[in-house]
Homo-oligomer: A and B are copies of this chain.
Amino acid sequence: MLVRVATIADVARAAGVSIATVSRVLSPGAVPHPVRADTAERVREAARRLNFIPSPLARGLAARRSGLIGLVVPDLADPHYPQIAIGVEEGARRLEMGVLICNTLGELERLVEYLQLLEARRVDVIVLSGATSLSAEELQTLLRYSIPMVLIGRPAIDVQWPHVSIDNRLGARLATRHLLAMGCTRVVHLSGPRTQTTMADRARGYIDEMDRRLLDIVESNGTPDDGYARLRARLELAPRPDGVFAATDRLAIAALALAADRSLHVPRELAVVGFDDIPLASQLRPTLTTVSQPAYELGSVAIEMAGHSAGAGAGRPSSRVLEPRLIERESTLGPGGRFVR
C-alpha cells in the first residue's frame, strides 16, 4: 500500500504552473511574493486534491530551517517537566512544528551533546528549561551556539536570550505569608540547591516575608529522599517547626511523609505548603496546599516567544514573568477548610 506521496512537481503539473509558483503560494516566505489570486486558488485546489504535504526535509534543506523545535529538559521523571512539555508541544503544533525532546539529566556534558545535535539538525529554535541551574561559566559555554534560544526560568547571569519564568519570589512570599496567617510561629523553609536561581528566588521570598522572625532554612539537593533526611535531622532539634514551606511539591511530599512517619498531624502540628502544583497534589491526603506554577503556560508562552526569536528578529525579544497563585488545600487548612490552631 505504498502510495507514492505527491511532490511539488505533481501539484505544479496539475495546476499548470511552475514549481516556483506552487512554492510561493503554499509556503509564503519571510518576504511574501505576489501571486495572482486566481493562480493561487488553482494551486491551492490542486494541492488539496493531491493531498500534498510539502516535505519538511526538502524545505528545511533549501530554506535552512527545519520546522523543528528542540526542547531541552533536565529530568522527565520530575512531574513538573512533562507539564512544560505538554505546553510546548501544544504550541508547536499550532505552528506546525515538530518538537525534538532532549533529556539532559542535569549533566552539562549531555546538554552540550544535545546542543550540537540540535544544531546539526538545524532546529529553528531551542526551548531550554533547567538553565536556572547553570553557573555563569556554564552559560558562557552555551553562548558558543548560534541557534536562537528561549529559556524557561531565569538564568544566573544576564544573557542574550529571552526567558519566561514565574515570579518565584512572590510565590514564596505568598506561601510563607499563608503559613504565618494560619498561625504558624516557627516556619522552616525546606529548600533545593540554592545554586539554582529558582531555589534562590524562593528562599529569598521566604526571607522577605519572615521579616524579622527567626530564619530557618534547610537546604537539600532537591530529591525527596534527601529532603526527607535533611528535614528529619532538623526535627531532632528544638524548637520544633510548626510549618514547612517546601520549595517544590516533591519536597513537600517528603515533608508529608516525614510527618506521617513521626505521627505529626498535618496541619495541626505541622502545616505544609509546596510549590508547583503537580497533578498529584490534589490527590494526596491531606491534599497539598501549594503555589501553582502555570507549567503548561510557561511552555506555550515559550513557544510564542520562540516564534519571534526564530522569525526575522526585530531586536532582542523581551522576557516575560508569569504570576504564581496560591492554592489552599488541606495541608494547611485541614479537612473541610477548618483549621484553628
Contact = CB atoms under 8 A, between A and B. Distances in A.
A268 interface: no
Interface in A97-134: 98-103, 116-117, 119-122
Interface residues of A, number: 55
Given A146-B1, A257-B285, A101 B89 contact: yes
B279 A253 contact: no
Contact of A98 (B100, B116, B260, B261): B100
B279 A254 contact: no
Contact of A285 (B5, B98, B256): B256
A86 B76 contact: yes
Contact of A82 (B77, B120, B285): B77
Given A1-B146, A86-B76, A117 B101 contact: no
Nearest to A120: B53
A55 B120 contact: yes
A322 interface: no
Contact of A257 (B57, B101, B260, B283): B283
Nearest to A117: B98
A283 B57 contact: no
Given A82-B76, A99-B100, A122 B285 contact: no
Interface in A255-286: 256-257, 260-261, 279-280, 283-286
Given A79-B79, A285-B261, A103 B120 contact: no
A83 interface: yes
A98 B86 contact: no
A61 B55 contact: yes
Contacts of A172: none
Given A85-B101, A260-B286, 15 more contacts: A1-B144, A2-B146, A3-B146, A53-B120, A55-B122, A56-B120, A71-B101, A85-B103, A89-B102, A90-B103, A99-B100, A256-B285, A257-B283, A261-B285, A284-B284
Interface of A: 1-3, 5, 53-58, 60-61, 66, 68, 71, 76-77, 79, 81-83, 85-86, 89-90, 98-103, 116-117, 119-122, 143-144, 146, 224, 250, 253-254, 256-257, 260-261, 279-280, 283-286, 335
10 contacts: A1-B143, A3-B146, A5-B120, A54-B120, A57-B61, A61-B61, A68-B100, A89-B101, A253-B280, A253-B283
